[in-house]
Chains A and B, each alone.
Chain A
Amino acid sequence: MSVVAFAHKRTTGFWDEVELNTIVTALSVAGSGREWETGMTENGDPQFYLLGPLPDQACELSVSRIGGRYILEDGSGRLLFEHQSLAIVALHAKAAAARSVPWWFVAHVVLLWCTVRQIVHEKVEPWLAESEELLVELAPQLVTFA
């Protein structure tokens, strides 16, 4: 008879490779280019921090493991989710990271949109109006040739 051992679930100590991979994989999809850090609490429980953009790089989300339970919090300490399964917590973290689109990104999109509109207004619209005028002038002559 063969006995299959259950995977050992960590309850203490620093993140192991599987745990870190689970979190990083889930979060890198939601916010590519974002950096992360790890740390320990005063009681030796591991923490994972998803950081915001430079220069502040404030923590946007954190995942901690306390006594085999995974805790998901935002950068203001609001408890977002907790569960014994890291995979489930990572899914919630991914969703939370996707929801918290950074303000600088929104600002860039708005600025880009305004710039494009301004260019269209200043350059393209007069050109179109000119072309239309030209067409109106030339159309009767073209009809005569046809």
Chain B
Amino acid sequence: MDLAMRLGLKYYTFISQVENGFSRVPTEAMAAWATELGLEPAAFAKHLLLYYEPELHRLLFGRKV
């Protein structure tokens, strides 16, 4: 709920959508999410890519999880 407020969302429901694994953090919002979570945007995006596009992550970074 706190994150939703900091991101300027009226409701926190989208955060739950993402947390429950039904939606992805939109690419254009990744930097804002990272900043509000106190993370480095590139590292945050790279970590999300591991879950969203594991094959692309493997091709780019060469590690399979």
Contact = CB atoms under 8 A, between A and B. Distances in A.
A binds B: yes
Interface of A: 37, 39-43, 45, 47, 49, 51, 58-59, 62, 64, 66, 71, 73, 75-77, 79
Contact of A79 (B1, B10, B23): B10
A76 B11 contact: no
Nearest to A37: B22
26 contacts: A37-B22, A40-B16, A42-B1, A42-B16, A43-B1, A45-B16, A47-B13, A49-B17, A58-B24, A59-B17, A59-B23, A62-B13, A62-B23, A64-B11, A66-B11, A66-B13, A71-B11, A71-B13, A73-B14, A73-B17, A76-B14, A76-B26, A77-B14, A77-B23, A77-B29, A79-B11
Interface of B: 1, 9-14, 16-17, 19-20, 22-24, 26, 29
Contacts of B12: 41, 43
Contacts of A39: 16, 20, 22
A94 B5 CA distance: 28
A51 B22 CA distance: 8
